Amino acid sequence: MAIVFQRPHALRDTEMHYCPGCTHGIVHRMVAEVIDELGIEGTTIGVSPVGCAYNNYLYFNCDMVQAAHGRAPAVATGIKRVHPDNVVFTYQGDGDLAAIGTAEIVHAANRGEKITTIFINNAIYGMTSGQMAPTTLIGQVTTTSPFGRKPEIEGYPLNVCEMLSTLKGAAYVERVSTHDIKNIRNAKKAIKKAFQVQMAGLGFSIVEVLSTCPTNWGIDPVKALKWVEEKMIPQYPLGNFRGKDLEV
């Protein structure tokens, strides 16, 4: 009997700890499929974040390093400079990358550090139980913006891709979403291209993935997918911001 679906080799046979309806699992799988397709599991080194994905080093089959909150791009820089021929990626959430780690991501991108960042934007801090993130939408209720995010108090949602796309060192910048099959397919294409950009030595690459957090958003998984489509995408338009025409 032909096998039509199986676990990618780059994912370990381990039960994941993510909440029902969370899209981390989908993104993990896409990253692993890309690693398989590019045949780079043996040379890839991943960097885990602080946040819900803190222990995704248990899920990937490649070598993994766990980094302090926000510091993954700096840690990845250290690794990549020691092993320039390996493939190095970071996996970071929005609290990690867009708040405490803003300096690290901006400067890794600006140096054109040949690493790939998978950036999960779900507009909230998940692991610490639903606090406001830099990416939280205007009016969005969180445990630290209980009356809804107000620009005059908390400022505005931070559009990371738009910001990083102004940097010459950032070779490939794309925002994708996980709210339906079509977009998941696009997301995987972007992740693959981001890794290929790194492998071609073209510079820094990042894919921002709009994701769900039903638990902390306080809605069911189906509604959460709708919420991404209806609320997040208007603030965070999908598409390529840099490196669309790169040949890899």
Partner 1 sequence: MGEKILMKGNEVIAEAALRAGCRHYFGYPITPQTEIAHYFAKKMPQYGGTFIQAESEVAAMNMVYGAASAGARVMTSSSSPGISLKQEAISYSACAELPAVIVNIVRAGPGLGGILASQCDYFQATKGGGHGDYRMVVLAPSSVQELYELVVEAFNIADRYRTLCMIMGDGMLGQMMEAVEFRDSEDICEADKSWAVTGTGMKRDHNIITSIYIDPEVLEKHNQKLQEKYRKIAENETRVEVYNCDDADIIVAAYGTVARIIKNVIKTAEKEGIRVGLIRPVTLWPFPTAAFEKYAQVPQAFLSVEMSAGQMVEDVRLAVNGKRPVHFLGRTGGMIPTQKEILEKIREILK
Judged by the rule CB under 8 A, the positions of this chain that interact with partner 1 are 41-45, 47-48, 54-55, 57-58, 60-68, 71, 74-83, 86, 103-104, 106-107, 111
Name which of 12 and 223 has its Cβ closer to partner 1. 12
As measured in angstroms, the least distance from the Cβ of 207 to partner 1 is 21
Q: Which is nearer to partner 1, 62 or 171 (CB)?
A: 62
Least distance (Å) between residue 24 CB and partner 1: 17
Do the beta carbons of residue 107 and residue 76 sit within 8 Å? no
Pairing verdict, β 87-93 and 239-242: unpaired
Identify which of residues 92 and 178 has a Cβ nearer to partner 1 in the complex. Answer: 92
Q: Smallest distance from the beta carbon of 152 to partner 1, in angstroms? A: 30
Would you say 54 or 119 has its CB closer to partner 1? 54
State the minimum distance, in angstroms, from the CB of residue 55 to partner 1.
7
Q: What distance in Å separates the CA atoms of residue 100 and residue 69, rounded to the nearest whole number?
A: 7
Q: Closest separation between CB of residue 115 and partner 1, Å?
A: 10
- Cα–chain-centroid distance for residue 145? 24
Q: Which is nearer to partner 1, 73 or 134 (CB)?
A: 73
Considering the complex, state which of residue 71 and residue 149 has its C-beta at the smaller distance from partner 1.
71
Q: How far is the CB of 37 from partner 1 (least distance, A)?
A: 15
